[in-house]
Structures are given as structure tokens and as C-alpha cells.
Structure 1
Amino acid sequence: MVIPEVGTERLVLRGFRAEDLAAHRAEVDDDAAVTWAHRRLPLADSLRRWADRLDGWERDGFGMWIAELRATGKIIGHAGLQRLDGSDDVELGYYLGRSSWGQGYATEAAHAILRYGFEQCGLQRVVAVVRPENAASRRVLEKAGFRHERDGVFYEQQASLLARER
């Protein structure tokens, strides 16, 4: 499958390429960014994870994109849609390196990804998982129209599930 490219004013969301791995890892494998990840992955696990993400595109017609700055081509992280572990729900996720925080990139990506999911994939509902202490991510989700649905354990951590209807 050819992974579609989604563009915003400042970002390009595109398919992962093998040559992206080092730049992506350098951007997101930082202690501050890993604080919000479910866990830090060894390189071999990271490669498997990207292979799984590519399989998701084939299986579901959606998945994760590499997020890069339109002006420079710098990779700042990844974002997209995936199946929520152990569920049929489709989850919005984004993971940006610290150098990109506080600049509105996550919000910009979230809006573009939701538009893709609703318009191109025909999704009626998208969820997101956020840890209670991640106020910045919660604000991103609220700006994108998500509302708190319930608290629980997701990815082996206490978190909130937020949802957005079409």
C-alpha cells in the first residue's frame, strides 16, 4: 500500500522510510520525551514497532506517519491513528521530540489526522489516551474536540480515555 501524505501549513505527515530511523530516534529518544512514552524501546523493538505500524496501514487503511517540518524536512516525531490495544477503538496518537513542544505542532497534526480519519477512512469515533499529569497533551486533545470518557488502565498505566465523535 502507498501511504498517503497529509500536509498542513507547517507539517508533512508521510510514510516511514528506513532512512528515517536514526533521525526519528535522535528526536524522540530523549529523557524528557520518554517521560510521556509508555516505555523506551531498544533499537530492535523500535524496528519491529515500525514494521507493525506499516502492517496497520495494510490492514486498516490508517496508521502512523512520520511528522516532519515542511520548511526544513526535519523529522520531529510521529503521529497518526492505530487500534487501541485490546480494543476495536481507533486511537489518535502523537509523539514529538522536546524541541517541538509548545509550538502547536501536535494540535496541527491532530486536526489533520482527524480530518483524514473521518473523511478518508469513514471513522465515526476516535479515542485518545492521556496520562493525568500530561496537561499539555490533554489541552491538545481538548482543542481537537475530545471529551473525557473514563479513567482506567491503558498500556499498563493509569490514564484517561478521551473520545471525539465525527
Structure 2
Amino acid sequence: MIETDRLIFRKYTLKDLDFLISMTSDPEMMKYIGKGTTWTEDFTKERMKLWMNRYEEGHISLMLAIRKSDQSFIGHAGLLPQEVEGKDELEVGYWIAKPYWGQGYASEAAIAWKEYGMNHLGKDRLISLIKLGNTGSQNVAKKNGMSLEKEIVFHEVEAEMWSIHR
């Protein structure tokens, strides 16, 4: 299990669906996720099941982020396999629920998952895909030691690919 000073991460279960729906149904929260639109409850459940299936197959995926001090669900983070321009990459991904923005949780989570990917999994390179204009996530990537590599179109969305190399 991965944890930081303030956060602990665990695998999603279907009992967590209401929390995930609270994030994916919020237009402000979803502005920089995917195509920038909210998700239906059915689509949210499909995505959650995809992440849960990855756990069962022995892979990593997004995990629920829980604040240690009061056990509040504050978002999720993890490592996601992505194919970018025909190349397999491993992405450090993170979403923090709106009530917890501006408190350093995204940086804390991203750094923890970067360290896990490089130190535990032995990866020499990790990326973060950031939608154009998402200055908050750009700042998180910088704090995580990443540099802007290039602008790309990822799943029909203009984005930046940030990366770190060992």
C-alpha cells in the first residue's frame, strides 16, 4: 500500500462509486479531464470497473486517495498505462476533488506515485498528460520534477506531455 505523510491510497471498490460520481458529475472538476465534459453514472461505473479489473489482473491503476487525519476521500491517483503516438508510456495521474484543491494534495500524490514507479517498479521514464490550459496540473508536474516534452493530441484532446527520466 502506498502512503504519504497525509494520504493513503487503496484500491477502489464498488462501495466508492458515489464518491467517484461526485467528482465526475461536477463540471468544474471535469473541465480538464478528457474532453472536459461530465460523465454519466453508467460511464463512471464502467471506468471504475476497468480500474478494478486492472487490479485483478495484477496491474496498477488509479487508486482512491484518503486523507489520514479524518479518512475523507479526497480524490484518486496512480499509474496508468497509455499509448501516446504509438509508444507505450506510464502516466502519473491524479484527480483531487474540488473541496481539497489548493492544499498540496495533488503534488503529494503525484510525487508518491512517481517514486513508486521509479523506485519500486524500476521505470526509467514516467509521463503526465495535461490538458492545455491546466496551470494547476502544470505546476504539479513541475513540483514532481517533470519537464514539458511536447504538445500532442491525445484522444482528440490538445494536451501537453510532461516527462521525467531517471
TM-score (norm 1): 0.90
Contact 2:20 2:44 in 1 (8 A): no
Q: Deviations over 1:26-55 (max 9, x none)?
A: 245312101111142211211111121123
Select the structure with the greater relative contact order (CA < 8 A; seq sep ≥ 6): 1
Report deviation, 1:98: 0.9
Alignment partners' CA distance in 1, 2:140 and 2:43: 28
The aligned amino acid for 1:34 is: M
Unaligned runs of 5+ in 1: none
Alignment partners' CA distance in 2, 1:96 and 1:155: 22
Contact 1:28 1:97 in 2 (8 A): no
152-161 or 26-35, which deviates more: 26-35
Unaligned runs of 5+ in 2: none
Residue 129 of structure 2 corresponds to residue 129 of structure 1: yes
Identical pairs, percent: 28
Equivalent pairs counted in the alignment come to 162
Alignment partners' CA distance in 1, 2:147 and 2:58: 25
Q: Deviations over 1:104-161 (max 9, x none)?
A: 0000001111111112212111111112211111000001011111111013211111
Aligned to 1:76: 74
Alignment partners' CA distance in 1, 2:137 and 2:100: 13
Contact 2:81 2:88 in 1 (8 A): yes
Aligned to 2:52: 54
TM-score (norm 2): 0.90
Report deviation, 1:59: 4.5
The aligned amino acid for 1:67 is: A
Equivalent in 9, 14, 35 of residue 10 of structure 2:
14
Query: Within 5 Å, which residues of 2 pair with 1:20-39?
Result: 20-38=16-34, 39=37
Report deviation, 1:88: 0.9
Instruction: Please give the secondary structure, in 1, of the residue aligned with 2:161.
Output: strand
Report deviation, 1:60: 6.1
